[in-house]
Amino acid sequence: ETGVTQTPRHLVMGMTNKKSLKCEQHLGHNAMYWYKQSAKKPLELMFVYNFKEQTENNSVPSRFSPECHNSSHLFLHLHTLQPEDSALYLCASSQEALRSGNTIYFGEGSWLTVV
Amino acid sequence: GQNIDQPTEMTATEGAIVQINCTYQTSGFNGLFWYQQHAGEAPTFLSYNVLDGLEEKGRFSSFLSRSKGYSYLLLKELQMKDSASYLCAVRGVGIFGTGTRLKVLA
């Protein structure tokens, strides 16, 4: 139990579907992140939220839309995805965003398959 | 450009010692993290180095040389449960290596 909970753990969706991934952290952290992990590729940072405000978007296509209600809850809305978007999507949190020495705590990930 | 290099795979025997190397070239440096990731699970934090030298934590140690852009993770007394991917990450967030898949054999 890492203190970061993601749902669903597995998701299969068609290219025309709309779905959402949810992340909740119980660590009292102020920063939350979405990462994408594809096979044989480095972990890719997608979005950073600090105190509910988006502070970083690493050129992520608009078919991925994050939403942050508060420092504890983060969503990733998915719409008209492509098969190459199939990957493990990891949510993470830390005390503050992008600060030296902050340990990043990851959720267990949501395995997404786009068919 | 920014780049982190790690070997793709390593194999070692139970009870042995293994060293996983990481070299990096980044525009900034605020420290280097090592994470462990078992198949199908999230990465978990192992160690953090911001100054040169060796940090020891039980069976795991991590070394950093900022002038050489080099770090290594040293695993002693290997156990079967150490079979996992080990990710090197610079600045803690956003820049990760591809990971080294370690197989520990009986």
- Give me the mean pLDDT over the A48-68 stretch: 91
Is A42–B99 a contact, with Cβ atoms under 8 angstroms apart? yes
Q: What is the mean pLDDT of residues A6-10?
A: 95
Per-residue pLDDT for A100 more than 70?
no
Which residues from B are below 8 Å from A94, CB to CB? 92-93
pLDDT in tens, B32-65: 889 999 987 888 889 888 899 999 989 999 999 9
- Say how many C-beta atoms besides its own lie within 10 A of residue B90's C-beta: 25
Q: Which residues in chain A touch residue B45, judged by CB atoms under 8 angstroms apart?
A: 103-105
**pLDDT number for residue B10:** 97
Nearest to B31 by CA among B66, B83, B57, B79: B66
Which of A41, A42, A104 lies nearest to residue B93, judging by beta carbons? A104
Check if the beta carbon of residue A27 is closer than 8 Å to that of residue A93.
Answer: yes
**Sign of the Cα pseudo-torsion (B82, B87, B91, B94, in order):** negative
The per-residue pLDDT of chain B, averaged, comes to: 90
Q: What is the pLDDT of residues A14-23, one digit of tens each?
A: 999 999 999 9
Q: Is the peptide bond before A8 cis (omega within 30 degrees of 0)?
A: yes
Mutate to test the interface with B, among A37, A43, A60 (most CBs of B within 10 A): A43
